[in-house]
Amino acid sequence: MTLPLRIQPGPRMSQAVIHVGSVHLAGQVALGAPGTSVAEQTRDILARIDALLAEAGSGRDKLVSAMIWLADIASFAEMNSVWDGWVAPGAAPARACVEAKLAAPQFIVEIAVVAAL
């Protein structure tokens, strides 16, 4: 395997990049649930993250860090209600969560993670 290894590469970005024992995911948005609730978008994003981590040979139990962007920080508790049920017990990553204007108005949550392989 030649490193870095790019997963689902495109002309602008790759969905994930494997390098030096870790996998770095691009910010994921709810392509399967645009315009729905924060909880629904979070569930959709976390399923996408699970799939990308599996493709890279990793999993949520190996998360190192997470960055979460919310269009409205008032939805913090709603997002956390889904996140808390998803994160592997005893394997919570270092994490930051901020309010930000996202790339398109239908997306109200975006999450990027780094995991060990």
Quote the radius of gyration of the chain (alpha carbons, Å). 14
Confidence (pTM): 0.95
Cβ–Cβ under 8 Å, residues 18 and 54: no
Query: pLDDT digits over 21-62, tens only?
Result: 999 999 999 998 877 899 999 999 999 999 999 999 999 999
Query: pLDDT digits over 63-104, tens only?
Result: 999 999 999 999 999 999 999 999 999 999 999 999 999 999
Q: Which residue has the tokens 């060990």?
A: 116
Q: What is the CATH number of the domain that holds 59?
A: 3.30.1330.40
Query: For the chain, what is the domain count?
Result: 1
For 94, the domain range is 5-116
